[in-house]
Amino acid sequence: MLRSVGVIVFIGIVGATAVYFANRPTVARGEVLAADLVQTNPLVKALDCDQTVPIGLSGGKFKCDAEFKNGDRQSFTFAIDRAGQITIVEHGQPVSTPRIKKTSDPWGD
């Protein structure tokens, strides 16, 4: 009888611990997410994202500043779900830099 009660208490403790850890948010590193996003888009030169991204039961949100290969910059807000799917929630206005034409003719620019 005492052994059965001990087994039931042990199962209850293990179950409660599993529920506790399942409900805790996962924390992703921003530079890892940025590296994944840069690899998926050939137009992006660099991304500067939040340092830590908490991912709860319903997912999480994080912000990044993007620098494109043509020199433009833009800020984005991304959403990530528990499965790791990343989508754009909103984006700011792009900031364009003037294009510099690189030729050998100084008068042709």
Residue 109 has what pLDDT? Answer: 52
Tokens for 17, please give them: 């611990």
Q: Where are the domains of the chain?
A: 25-91
Residue 101 has what pLDDT? Answer: 67
Residue 24 has what pLDDT? Answer: 79
Going residue by residue through the chain (109 aa), what tens digit of pLDDT does each one get? 888 889 999 999 999 998 888 777 788 898 999 998 999 989 999 999 999 988 888 888 999 999 998 888 999 999 998 888 989 999 888 787 766 666 776 666 5
Residue 2 has what pLDDT? Answer: 80
Between CA 20 and CA 29, with CA 26 as vertex, the angle to 5 degrees is 160
